[in-house]
Amino acid sequence: MGIEIDLLVNYPKTKRNVKERGAEKTEEDRAIARQFGKEFFDGDRKHGYGGFNYFSRFWQPVIPTFQKHFGLTFESRVLDVGCAKGFMLHDMAELIPGIYVRGIDISEYAIANAIEDMKPFVQVADARKLPFHDKSFDVVISINTVHNLDRVDCAQALREIERVSRGKNFITVDAYRNNEEKLLMEAWNLTAKTMMHVDEWKKFFDEVGYTGDYYWFIP
């Protein structure tokens, strides 16, 4: 197994009123969000992002962290599992000219509305069955995605990440370290089907053979 490391340390933090959000969310809202369609990305805030648009201030500060940690160069091949509209890949390609990037997402809406320069490099696909050959990528990144699957499918997605990578991966997943954080996570959660204590996640990684790096999303 890899290391616990916050490679998103430079991603801008936003203030979250978690309890208020939890009180407002219904199971119907979660069902709509889990369709990952227009309502999730660009619909009402209660169903997701409330408008998923590109802003350079989000990913541009993060790319140098990825670049340093993984030693990314113009010769590197990177896959984003759960790429949404391709914003991270756009900034990576801009800041590391010549780098080979690809992205997949389960959302037909997100891929159809991807940022223009990334449209040739992103596609609709399932994390449980990545459409790439073994060891196709130097690095595979998946941010807040695999936890949207149930436990069995989450395990399969992690194995697929392992299969298509050459040994360097990074994921983030919904997690908690104590009961207070668990309650906040349950209130905040809109799409995740697999949420665990950080120690349970580490055991899970070991069980399924995930050897990459990882960190937690904790609201």
- Give pLDDT, residue 148: 97
SS3 for 78?
Answer: strand
Mean pLDDT to the nearest integer, 124-142:
98
Q: What is the C-alpha separation between 170 and 5, in angstroms, rounded?
A: 9
20 inside domain: no
User: Which residues have CB under 8 Å from 192's CB, separation 6+?
Assistant: 147, 148, 173, 174
Mean pLDDT to the nearest integer, 27-41:
93
Mean pLDDT of the chain: 94
38 inside domain: yes
93 inside domain: yes
Which domain range does residue 160 map to? 27-217
15 inside domain: no
In percent, the amount of the chain with pLDDT more than 70 equals 95
28 φ, ψ to 5°? -65, -40
CB contact at 8 A, 46 and 29: yes
151 inside domain: yes
Q: What is the pTM of this model?
A: 0.95
46 inside domain: yes
In percent, the amount of the chain with pLDDT more than 90 equals 85
CATH number of the domain that residue 83 is part of: 3.40.50.150
12 inside domain: no
4 inside domain: no
Comparing 43-57, 123-137, 142-156, the range with the smallest average pLDDT is 43-57
Mean pLDDT to the nearest integer, 150-161:
98
Structurally, how many domains does the chain consist of?
1
- Give pLDDT, residue 117: 98
Query: Where is pLDDT greater, at 131 or 22?
Result: 131
Mean pLDDT to the nearest integer, 109-127:
98
